[in-house]
Amino acid sequence: MKFASTRLIAADVKAMVAFYEMVTGQKAQWLAPVFAEIVTPGATLAIGSVETVALWKDGSAEPGANRTAALEFQVADIDADYARLKDKVPLVHEIKTMPWGNKTFQFRDPEGTAVSLYMPATEEAKKRFSGR
């Protein structure tokens, strides 16, 4: 099994796609007017409009309701990304090093989902990610 993507359901799909294009620096691929993907080396971030929920089952997903998951993007230079984004995103916390060795900061997307950018900072964390 291969973890392939995370899908977000958005009330304003265009705003969400533009936000993640700004964060990742990558252009989205619009596969339909109500669905886009941002493909990264590790996985794909899929963003669907609220209208796509009915394709599964009405009421099975709700935009702006996520408080249990955080999207994490590993970056090469956390300080540069923090400088680039700190005035463009609503910060949850500024840069800090977590007990497991990752240097990170967190913010929220336009629908309230937590987003973390991180890089391995300690030698142990760097070793953990060297084989991935």
Predicted pLDDT of residue 50: 84
Specify the domain boundaries for CATH 3.10.180.10 within the chain.
68-132
**Cβ-contact 132, 120 below 8 angstroms:** no
User: Tens digit of pLDDT for each residue in 51-82?
Assistant: 887 677 777 677 788 777 899 999 999 999 99
The arithmetic mean of pLDDT across residues 87-106, rounded, is 96
State the architecture of 68-132 in CATH terms: Roll (3.10)
What's phi and psi for 4, nearest 5 deg?
A: -110, -40
Specify the domain boundaries for CATH 3.30.720.120 within the chain.
1-58
> For the structural domain made of 1-58, what CATH number should be given?
3.30.720.120
Question: Residue 122 pLDDT > 90, yes or no?
Answer: yes
Collapse the DSSP code of 17 into the 3-class scheme (helix H, G, I; strand E, B; otherwise coil) and give the result: helix
Give the residues across from 102 on adjacent strands.
120
